[in-house]
Structure 1
Amino acid sequence: MPRRLVSTGSPFEKTAGYSRAVVDGDFAFVAGTTGYDYTAMTMPADVTSQSRNCFKTIEAALQEAGFAMADIVRATYYLIDVRDADAHFAVCGEFLGEIRPAATLLVVAALLKPEMKVEIEVTAKRRSA
């Protein structure tokens, strides 16, 4: 099966040279995803809304690639403020509470833009039918 690229249609993907997701065989690798609301092209101010938006974008990319959220096996979270961890983890529980992928949280000095509070990347493996 050839490698397949999944795009959100953002011109930034071409400019920066990346895809929202790359499918290779039974795996989907979803790029770091920030909390933009792509329908309104806005960034909410709070980490809870940003985390929810991250997961919604990730879910849409996985669906387009032929995967489901239940296929997620690995998640990496990047926060710029450790005080946001509890609010972020509450959202993780909403989306991944039953899935429970292997996960890592990193607190970083900054993300690409100052309004970004969280970035999430995931790896999914297609489940056997």
Structure 2
Amino acid sequence: MQEIKKIATGSPWEDIVGYSRAIKIGNIIEISGTTAPGRNEYEQTVAIIENIKKVLEGLDASLDNVIRTRIYCTDITQWEKIGKAHGEYFGKIKPVTSMVEVSKLIDPSILVEIEFSAIVSQ
């Protein structure tokens, strides 16, 4: 059986809801929906990706290993702000992605939430 490595970041939500920020099994990394404070969609997207860079580094990976992002936002008309920030990090990597509008996220100040999937060499 392959080793399963679970990563926690200390977010209060992790214990309340009962989840791991990231799980690595073999060469696959799955990262939970991640949010970050910020004044607008662009700032939140940048902060989320910066936080995930650190999580990936803790798993001997990087943004270059990301193969998929799933973006949830509360106002799809702001897609250009979100897309601009995403493109600044992933413009050359080009993972598959989706961006969908949801009616709300867990806190009214949260405008963007992103999930990540990555694959690393074994």
TM-score (norm 2): 0.94
Number of the residue aligned with 1:55: 49
Q: CA deviation at 1:70?
A: 0.2
Number of the residue aligned with 1:24: 25
Runs of 4+ in 1 over 4 A off after TM superposition: none
Q: Would you say how many aligned residue pairs link Structure 1 and Structure 2?
A: 121
Q: CA deviation at 1:85?
A: 0.2
Instruction: Work out which of the residue numbers 96, 105, 114 in structure 1 matches 2:108.
Output: 114
Is 1:34 matched up with 2:28? Answer: no
Give distance in 1, aligned partners of 2:121 and 2:67.
10
Aligned-residue sequence identity (percent) comes to 27
Q: CA deviation at 1:104?
A: 0.7
Give distance in 1, aligned partners of 2:38 and 2:85.
15
Q: Which digits, 9 at most, give the CA deviation of each residue in 1:73-105, with x for residues without a partner?
A: 011000110111001000011110110001111
Q: Secondary structure at the match of 1:95?
A: helix
Q: Tell me how large the CA RMSD over aligned residues is.
A: 1.1
Q: CA deviation at 1:10?
A: 2.2
Q: CA deviation at 1:123?
A: 0.2
The unaligned stretches of length 5 or more in structure 1 are 36-42
Q: Secondary structure at the match of 2:43?
A: helix
Q: Which digits, 9 at most, give the CA deviation of each residue in 1:32-66, with x for residues without a partner?
A: 0012xxxxxxx222111100011011111111111
Q: CA deviation at 1:12?
A: 2.4
Instruction: Work out which of the residue numbers 79, 86, 96 in structure 2 matches 1:92.
Output: 86
TM-score (norm 1): 0.89
